[in-house]
């Protein structure tokens, strides 16, 4: 069971309907800022475990995400990501998997320790359940790909999925950055424009699809992101264990 405290923050599993509504309200704030009030919720919420990161002193919810465990690749069609990506290649993955979804940090909170505690909580879950692959959709704000050309060019050059796992196109609107972009990336600008969650995945050895889905409903561009746990560099694994321990 995920439950840890580090510095100002604690991570815990949502226990009540009120907890889950708080997470849905934070998601609404993070993902749909043009729409006041309401809750961001869907049919996957009842299937998932929800993780909350709070400031301990004030009990303010500053970050949340949800976890959908799968016994293996044969269940990949049950995932949220399977709505947007053709994931038949991953059916051959033989090992426990977890989809990490709806990850968000409150837009008014910028402390990097929040992300560290969130990853510590995920690391604890992964190790307790012997998970062998993490995956999900990593989102770029907005739907104008031009703002992220350098980031996408860097993903094309350095971080595409292995051929054996490569997601194929399924969504009606996509940006095929691996085929369309010919530019050499400005690496500094690429890192600046990379979402923090995706940057962390990549530091741990993660990989992405060769295209981004244009999600007008959520007002995002997102790439399928996978991370095989055995591929995490030893130094990075040690750091995550220190946070989760």
CA–CA separation, 34 and 227 (whole Å): 32
Q: Give yes or no for residue 38 having a pLDDT over 90.
A: no
What is the per-residue pLDDT for 27? 94
Rounded to 5°, angle at Cα 66 from 101 and 23: 110
**Residue 23, pLDDT score:** 97
Please give the angle made by the CA atoms of 121, 12 and 97, to the nearest 5 degrees: 45
Report field, pTM of the whole predicted structure over 0.95: no
Residue-wise pLDDT tens digits, 56-113: 999 999 999 999 999 999 999 999 999 999 999 999 999 999 999 999 999 999 999 9
Which residue pairs, CB below 8 angstroms and at least 24 apart, start in 184-193? 184/153, 185/149, 185/150, 185/151, 185/153, 185/154, 185/157, 186/150, 187/150, 187/154, 189/150, 189/151, 190/150, 190/151, 190/153, 190/154, 191/151, 191/154, 193/140, 193/147, 193/148, 193/150, 193/151
pLDDT digit string (tens) for 47-66?
999 999 999 999 999 999 99
Q: What percent of the chain has pLDDT over 70?
A: 94
- Is residue 26 scored above 90 in pLDDT? yes
Strand partners, 85: 169
* pLDDT computed for residue 5 by the predictor: 76
Q: Given a cut of 90, is residue 150 above it in pLDDT? A: yes
Interatomic CA distance for residues 104 and 70, integer angstroms: 22
Residue 33 pLDDT class (50, 70, 90 cuts): low
Q: Which position has the higher pLDDT, 31 or 13? A: 13
5-18 pLDDT per residue, tens: 778 999 999 999 99
Domains of the chain: 3-244 (3.40.630.30)
């Amino acid at each position: 069971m995920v439950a840890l405290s580090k510095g100002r923050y604690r991570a815990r599993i949502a226990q009540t309907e009120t907890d889950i509504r708080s997470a849905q309200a934070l998601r609404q704030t993070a993902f749909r800022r043009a729409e006041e009030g309401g809750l961001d919720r869907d049919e996957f919420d009842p299937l998932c475990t929800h993780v909350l990161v709070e400031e301990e002193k004030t009990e303010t919810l500053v970050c949340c995400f949800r976890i959908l465990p799968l016994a293996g690749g044969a269940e990949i069609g049950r995932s949220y990501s399977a709505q947007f990506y053709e994931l038949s290649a991953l059916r051959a993955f033989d090992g426990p998997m977890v989809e990490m979804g709806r990850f968000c940090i409150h837009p008014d909170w910028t402390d990097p320790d929040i992300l560290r505690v969130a990853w510590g909580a995920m690391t604890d879950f992964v190790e307790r359940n012997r998970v062998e692959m993490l995956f999900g959709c990593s989102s770029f704000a907005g739907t104008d790909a031009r703002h992220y050309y350098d980031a996408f060019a860097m993903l094309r050059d350095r971080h595409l999925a292995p051929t054996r796992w490569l997601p194929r196109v399924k969504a009606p609107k996509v940006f095929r950055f691996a085929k369309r972009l010919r530019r050499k990336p400005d690496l500094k600008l690429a890192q600046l424009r990379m979402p923090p969650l995706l940057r962390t995945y990549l530091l741990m050895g993660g990989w992405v699809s060769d295209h981004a889905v244009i999600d007008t409903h959520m007002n995002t561009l997102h790439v399928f992101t996978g991370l095989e746990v055995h591929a995490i560099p030893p130094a990075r694994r040690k750091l995550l264990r220190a946070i989760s321990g």
